Amino acid sequence: MAKDKPGTIEVKSFGTHHVITQPNPLRKVLLRVPESDLDDPVGRAEKALAGLSGEFKEWMTIEADRLSAAHAAALRDGFNEQTREELFRAAHDIKGDAATFGYPSAAAAAESLCRIIEHAPDLDAVPPQLIAHHINAVQAIVRERTRLDTTVVAGVLSKQLRGIADEFLTHANRDRPEHLEAILAPSIVPNE
Amino acid sequence: MYRIDFNKLRFLICDDNPHMRRILRTLLHSFGAREVYEAEDGATALEMYTHYVPDIVITDWSMPIFDGLELAQMIRQPESKGNPYAPIIMLTGHSEKRRVTVARDAGVTEFLAKPISAKGLYQRILNVVANPRPFIKTKTYFGPDRRRNTTNTYIGPERRGSGEVEVMQQPSLLEKARLGPGG
């Protein structure tokens, strides 16, 4: 859509690689504006996001119920490729979305569950309570969100779950250095 | 000072989660974008990519069947009839450094870890619009230059060999994309 005049692509060839440069096809969408320009697209977008926030509770409930359903399917059918994938995807979505929806502790609990699913050598050997506690924690955090005194408790709960999960994973992967390294590596997302 | 005229940009967003698609759409429309196409899986996104020729692709990583990484690899086919140069922003819940490396090696232009923020998304878009990197083609890689740091203080093996420089002129792939299949 951002059509620029078709430019020529310049290819410089070296021994093992080519460097390809083309005139910036998106250059025309860059507008020079005076410093006094008051347009604030980021502020406008934040306001629009705040306008959606009335729906976040319902969305979060849907995500948490999807996680519980995936867990129920895994309990019923055992862990196979399909049930493992669905449980991981449901937890992974909560990990990514919950903080945006105002539930950072649910995101933390879901992240801990993702790590278990990704790094446990054998999911059937993971204590069932460890997985169940993560699912229950997400449900409780979502359900009790409106109570003012639950925010701190939710944070403590998530941290404790992560601690227990990490202890389990570190022990279970003591002979798997690649996983151990990944478990102990810091996240690229800064802490809250 | 520069600002982006979002009105002239065409976006393709790909995420299997409808809530995240709604958030992305809201943010992009608020920035001023009018043309935002949505796909809920990689296969549909690839089809839409060929059909709509978006300026920028924003994709999730984890999706059923055909994920965002595979989508990036399919787009970055130098011999394809579509445009293999479009900026790809990977928006994902994955937050491990090794994932950034894997995404980079698949030809992803920018990596944005969730939770999403208006500022983070805007900055990534500004970066791909204002500072496009040259593309590198080797036997095993085709995508934006993975070396962002241009200082000459690097110590270590030089993996890119040197050689004679040969400059070839080719028609723009944007032109090729406009002409469509067979063009």
For residue A39, the chain B residues in CB contact (below 8 A) are 3
Give residue-wise pLDDT tens across range A19-77. 999 888 898 899 888 888 888 999 999 999 999 999 999 999 999 999 999 999 999 99
Residue of A nearest to B31 (CA): A41
Starting from the edge strand earliest in sequence, which strands make up the sheet with B35-39, in order?
A: B35-39, B10-14, B56-59, B88-92, B110-113
A71-96 average pLDDT score? 96
Q: Is B140 on the interface with A (CB under 8 A)?
A: no
- Report CB contact under 8 Å: B9, A2: yes
How many domains does chain A fold into?
1
A15, A22, A189: residue with CB nearest B95: A189
Rounded CA separation A71/A131 (Å): 9
- Report CB contact under 8 Å: A97, B122: no
Give B38: exposed, middle or buried? Use CB within 10 Å, 0-12, 13-18, 19+.
Answer: middle
DSSP bridge pairs for B112: B91
* Range among A2-16, A30-44, A74-88 rated most confident: A74-88
Token pair listed for B104:
């980079």
Residue predicted with more confidence, B148 or B29: B29
Work out the pLDDT band at A3, boundaries 50, 70, 90. low
DSSP bridge pairs for B164: none
For the four alpha carbons of A146, A152, A153 and A155, in that order, the dihedral sign comes to: positive
| Model confidence at B77: pLDDT above 50 | yes
Quickly count helices (H) and strands (E) in chain B: 6, 9
Q: Is B32 on the interface with A (CB under 8 A)?
A: yes
Give residue-wise pLDDT tens across range A107-132. 999 999 999 999 999 999 999 999 99
Superfamily of domain B6-147+168-178: Response regulator (3.40.50.2300)
CB A14 within 8 A of CB B138: no
**Domain boundaries of chain B, sorted by first residue:** 6-147+168-178
**pLDDT on residue B177:** 38
Work out the pLDDT band at B96, boundaries 50, 70, 90. confident
Residue of B nearest to A186 (CA): B96
DSSP bridge pairs for B38: B13
- Report CB contact under 8 Å: B114, A97: yes
Rounded CA separation B183/B177 (Å): 8
Name residues 147-166 of chain B within 8 A of A (Cβ).
160-166
Decide if A14 is inside a domain: no
Distances (CA, A) of B33 to A140, B13, B70, B76: 38, 12, 26, 25
Work out the pLDDT band at B2, boundaries 50, 70, 90. confident
- Report CB contact under 8 Å: B9, A48: no
| Model confidence at B29: pLDDT above 50 | yes
**CA end-to-end span of chain B, whole Å?**
39
Distances (CA, A) of B83 to A5, A84, B69, B149: 15, 36, 17, 26
**pLDDT on residue A51:** 95
Distance from CA of A50 to the nearest CA of B (A): 10
**pLDDT on residue B179:** 43
**pLDDT on residue B170:** 42
Q: Which one-letter DSSP state was computed for residue A54?
A: G
User: Is the pTM higher than 0.80?
Assistant: yes
Rounded CA separation A173/A104 (Å): 28
Give residue-wise pLDDT tens across range A132-179. 999 999 999 998 876 656 778 888 899 999 999 999 999 999 999 989
Work out the pLDDT band at B171, boundaries 50, 70, 90. very low
* CATH number of the domain to which A153 belongs: 1.20.120
B44-61 average pLDDT score? 96
From the list B162, B42, B153, B54, the residue with the least C-alpha distance to B106 is B42
Decide if A48 is inside a domain: no
Q: Which domain holds residue A139?
A: 56-184
Average model confidence (pLDDT) across chain B: 84
**pLDDT on residue A153:** 84
| Model confidence at B154: pLDDT above 80 | no
Percent of chain B with pLDDT over 90: 66
